[in-house]
Structure 1
Amino acid sequence: MAQPNEDRSEAETNATIAEQNDRFRTTWGADFTVPGQIMLTRGVADLSPAAKAIIMQRVQTFSEFSESNEPYGDHTFGAFEFEIAGNSYHIFWKINLYDKDYSMGSDDPADVGVTRRVLTILHASEY
């Protein structure tokens, strides 16, 4: 198992993770230098194609990070609301950092060589 880089400060590590998370999220996983998967909960998967397109766009362009919703500054969580066809939705997205086998947390989340991301998108009520 790789050991975390002891020379990085927590702030530097979180900034590195934030940059990687942003690359993964904003490219919808198409930047293969940051490996991972995107998962939709059943409640989101069952929405209309138009609603899912709005969600995808809002997740990719999310930039409203603050101390209250991102205390570590690693860009692993976001929330937003939108309306379509008379329905209102409150959506959360969350990035979890796993080992290469997706079986447990990564030993060094800032190292893309040993870390896999899972971006999960869900209704707030499914949290």
Structure 2
Amino acid sequence: MDPRGGPRERPGTRSKRCVSDAWPGTRLSLCHRRCVVAGPGVRHAGPAAVRGFDSFSEDNDPWGEHDFGSIELEGHKLFWKIDPYDLDLQAHSQNAANPAVTHRVLTLMLASEY
């Protein structure tokens, strides 16, 4: 049992499930402005490309959270991040392991925006 009241899971389990199992618990996908300007292919194919991402390693995911990565899409390098928010989307979730109190938000941005 997690000390915050939810079931204990391996780090990254919920984030990976978010991108691999038809987005359970994901309420929003956000694209930064330049990502939108890059074209509808980037905007629409981005979530599917993130869903298929499985190149996690000790180097790019040292904590095993599976909540950040980079992908190439239509000639653009994009960064993606999944964050656990409270149900009102006002702050980070107090218990990210509990889907009853957590919405996961996917953010996509061009790497050049960083």
Shared fold (TM-score, shorter chain, > 0.5) = yes
Q: Counterpart in 1 of 2:96?
A: 109
Residue 71 of structure 2 is aligned to residue 80 of structure 1:
yes
Unaligned runs of 5+ in 2: none
Shift of 1:122: 0.3
| 1:36 pairs with 2:27 | yes
Unaligned runs of 5+ in 1: none
Q: Over residues 38-77 of structure 1, what are the superposed CA-to-partner deviations in whole Å (9 max), with x where a residue is unaligned?
A: 1011111112223434433321200001122212212100
- Whether contact under 8 Å (2:6, 2:98) holds in the other structure is no
Distance 1:24 1:7 in 2: 17
AA in 2 matched with 1:24: C
Q: 2:107 maps to what in 1? A: 120
Q: CA contact under 8 A between 2:6 and 2:95: conserved in structure 1? A: no
Contact 1:35–1:112 (CA under 8 A) maintained in structure 2: no
Q: In the alignment, is residue 50 of structure 1 matched against residue 44 of structure 2?
A: no
AA partner of residue 123 (structure 1): L
TM-score, normalised to structure 2, is 0.80
Alpha carbon RMSD of aligned pairs, Å?
A: 2.3
Count of matched residue positions in the alignment of Structure 1 and Structure 2 = 112
TM-score (norm 1): 0.73
1:91 aligns with 2:75: no
Q: 1:22 aligns with which of 16, 24, 31?
A: 16
1:67 aligned counterpart, secondary structure? coil
Deviation at 1:100, TM superposition (A): 1.3
